[in-house]
Structure 1
Amino acid sequence: MGSLEEARKRLEEARKVAVLTGAGISKPSGIPTFRDAEGLWKEFNPLEYATPEAYAKDPEKVWAWYAWRIAKVREARPNPAHQALAELERRVLERGGEFLLVTQNVDGLHARAGSRNLVELHGNILRARCEACGHRFPLPEAFTPPPSCPRCGHRARPDVVWFGEFLPEGAWERAVRAFSEADVALVIGTSAEVEPAASLGRIAYASGAYLVELNPEPTPLTPLAHLSLRMGAVEGMAVLLEGL
């Protein structure tokens, strides 16, 4: 097991940094997680709300659930962990390095915090996608679900990846490249159970990266991590970046 001092030194010297975030980083912003003791999947069956089949069966029910979640996301603000990652990106790029932040979250908080080199693996809840022409568009502040496509007028669906669907084109390839080339990889606030994203930490480790995990509970990735901090994202990022 590595030390905090070693992790900080590695981060300070890294030319290539890759980061994976999950629902845990947005929990302090008031966004519910999915898989922990108070997660959304304890109350809602994902098969009824997050599959193409559920949407085909009852689009109004699915859209009502997403409208509730969208309202929560609009009320939320980026927290210090989001902001710390945006600052880390800025520092790495300033010294001529490479940085990629891959998130499983659909809340858009990383972009709002200032992250630029960003892959949203599972889409963005604040966008919709036309079922007919495929046009993606930001949802207005006030809308009546289901929204209509501004381009062709057809019904639109949430622009998120549901269970059983493919990731956005090129997103996975970009993520794999960053993690396989990283000097340091951070995995923050994710259960490391949802594939294919859960593989990214293993890819980084197998490729020789220094692997740091921040999560309150142990995960399947913990045995591989050079440093595993049993902390939430906000506290963990503050400790990790202290003095850098």
Structure 2
Amino acid sequence: MHNVMKSFREVLSNASNILILTGSGISAESGVPTFRGAGGFWRKYQAQSLATPEAFAANPSLVWEFYEYRRQLVSKVKPNKAHEAVAEFQKRKIAEGKNVSIVTQNIDGLHQKAGAQDVLELHGSLYKTRCTKCHNIAINENIPICPALAGKGSPDPNIMSSDIPREELPRCEIEDCGALLRPDIIWFGEQLDENVLQQAFDIIASCDACLVIGTSAIVYPAAMFAPQVARRNVPVAEFNIEETPATGQMQYHFQGPCTTTVTEALAP
């Protein structure tokens, strides 16, 4: 393993356009739930069933309670050593005149908290809202996001939805609008923003080294990014707690906690 790590570190030292693609695994070590698999429940709901436009249309109060819980939780966690290593590596390489692009499937903002710059968020952000009428996107880090959601969002399975009236849920502040806001997050059944996707494809087409950190390689379109890079014979390294469906296509695979493997790979 030591020789493999040494080989990859040499690849990184010679690369000038590096892509770092991250998923929920990097934030799980900070205590952010992945909401995948058997533990992916909030109250009695499977989390994925709440992250849909249909769920929001049927019960915006319930969906906003779920996201208020997630905002509260993430606001209390800190970036871990892997987030910090990525941010420090990016800063160091930029100082050398090189480029490090961070593309993430995460919505928690922990890369930015660690000091990373120009993070491309494929799936949106917990700290942004989108108007359901005028489609304005705004940053909102208030907790609670509105008075009616104060103290709401407990994951206790015995708690029922508060059924907060729509007019008391987050509203657009654009003059003459005032419509209902939703989280600016790509939900199941929705397409990624075309501009964001194009930026990702441009990065994929130009990178000469790639790290895939803490992603399951099953959520599309991000799942196809690393294999696309590998098909160009560009070195790709996967960092994950376990093997994924894409592991066989990667030149390098480092198994174990991201806080250990990523920190070693990106150390000066």
TM-score (norm 2): 0.85
Deviation at 1:41, TM superposition (A): 8.3
Q: Which residue pairs with 2:159 in the alignment?
A: none
Aligned to 2:210: 185
Is contact 2:145–2:170 with CA below 8 Å preserved after alignment? yes
1:171 to 196, 215, 223: 196
* Paired AA for residue 71 in structure 2: I
Q: Over alpha carbons, which structure has the higher Rg?
A: 2
Aligned-pair CA distance for 1:126:
1.3
Amino acid at match of 1:100: S
Q: Quick check: 1:47–1:54 contact (8 Å CA) kept in 2?
A: no
1:210 to 231, 235, 239: 235
Q: Is the contact between residue 123 and residue 168 of structure 1 (CA under 8 Å) also seen in structure 2?
A: no
Q: Residue 58 of structure 2 aligns to which amino acid in structure 1?
A: K
Q: Deviations over 1:202-226 (max 9, x none)?
A: 1110122110000011101110111
Given residue 103 of structure 2, which amino acid in structure 1 is its aligned partner? V
Q: Find the counterpart in structure 1 of residue 155 from structure 2.
A: none
Asked if 1:160 corresponds to 2:161, the answer is no
Q: CA contact under 8 A between 1:123 and 1:160: conserved in structure 2?
A: yes
* Partner residue, 2:156: none
Q: C-alpha offsets along residues 11-57 of structure 1, whole Å, 9 cap, x if unaligned?
A: 11111100110001111211101325534589742453011111111
* SS state at 1:10 partner: helix
1:192 Cα deviation after fit = 0.3
Shift of 1:99: 1.6
Residue 224 (1) aligns with residue 249 (2):
yes
Structure 2 letter corresponding to 1:176: F
Ranges in structure 1 where 5+ consecutive residues have no aligned partner:
none
1:195 aligns with 2:197: no
- Tell me, yes or no, if the aligned pair for 2:32 and 2:77 is still in contact at 8 Å: yes
Contact 1:213 1:229 in 2 (8 A): yes
Mapped to 2, the partners of 1:95 and 1:120 lie a distance apart of 25
Counterpart in 1 of 2:161?
A: none
Compared CA separation, residues 239 and 41, structure 1 to 2 (3 A): farther
Assess if the C-alpha contact under 8 Å between 1:181 and 1:207 holds in 2: no
- Name the CA distance, whole Å, in 2 between partners of 1:43 and 1:198: 29
Note if contact 2:24-2:105 (Cα within 8 Å) is conserved in structure 1: yes
Please report the RMSD computed on the Cα atoms of aligned residues, expressed in angstroms. 1.9
The aligned amino acid for 1:8 is: R
C-alpha distance in structure 2 between counterparts of 1:177 and 1:42, whole Å: 40
Residue 51 (structure 2) aligns with:
50
Question: Normalised by the size of structure 1, how large is the TM-score?
Answer: 0.93
- Unmatched runs of 5 consecutive residues or more in structure 2: 150-168
Structure 1 position 18 matched with structure 2 position 41: no
Aligned mates of 1:53, 1:84 — CA distance in 2: 39
Q: Give the distance between the partners of 1:84 and 1:9, measured in 2 at CA.
A: 17
Tell me how far 1:169 sits from its aligned partner. Answer: 3.3
User: What is the deviation of 1:117?
Assistant: 2.6
Identity within the alignment, %: 37
Equivalents in 2 of 1:14, 1:103: separation in Å?
Answer: 20
For residues 58-95 of structure 1, give each alpha carbon's deviation from its aligned partner in whole angstroms, at most 9, with x where no partner exists.
11111111111110011111111111111111122122
Structure 2 matches for 1:1-244, cutoff 5 A?
3-36=4-37, 38-40=39-41, 44-46=45-47, 48-139=49-140, 140-144=142-146, 145=149, 146-151=169-174, 152-242=177-267, 244=268
